[in-house]
Amino acid sequence: MTHEFKTVRIKIYPEKCIGAGHCVGCAPDIFSQNEDDGVVILLKDDPPPDRYESAKAAARLCPTSAIEIIEQ
């Protein structure tokens, strides 16, 4: 594996979220949005390795750093 045996965990900070929805665009299987205010909901904090890149893209595109990728 090219991931150097690291696993990815995802942490969200809903209080920072502005509901831009980039995360859902990148990875609808990992993130969702609250229907009332668009705030991020984490569906899966331990994505499978083939979803790491999408999870990282979501974190990178988030304009308010409301998503943290933790590599362990």
Partner 1 sequence: MDSQSPEAMPVFPLPRTGSPLDPPAEYDRFRAEGALKKVNMWDGRQAWLVTRRDDVRAVLASPHFSADPTKPGYPFLTPARAATVKSYQTFITMDPPDHTRFRRMLTKDFTQKRMEELRPRVQTLVDRMIDDLLSGEPPGDLVQALALRLPVTVISLLAGVPLADDAKLVRWSNQRLDLSVDAETSESAGKNMLEYFDELLKSREEEPGDGADMLGRLVIEQIRPGHLDRKGAVHMINLLYFAGHETTANQIGLGVLHFLMNPGQRQKLVASPELVKNAVEEMLRYDTPPHYNACRVATTDVTIGGETIRAGEGVYALLSAANRDPDAFDDPARFDIERENASDQLAFSYGLHQCIGQPLARLELHTVFSTLFRRVPSLTLAIPFEQIQFKRDFYVYGLQALPVSW
Q: Which residues bind partner 1 (CB under 8 A)?
A: 16, 18-21, 24-25, 28, 33, 35-39, 60-61, 63-65
Question: Minimal distance in Å, beta carbon 72 to partner 1?
Answer: 26
Q: Given the complex with partner 1, which of 9 and 36 has the nearer CB atom?
A: 36
Q: Given the complex with partner 1, which of 9 and 43 has the nearer CB atom?
A: 43
With CA atoms as reference, report the closest residue to 58 among 34, 36, 35, 41: 41
Is residue 42 classed as helix, strand or coil in its secondary structure? strand
With CA atoms as reference, report the closest residue to 34 among 53, 13, 19, 55: 19
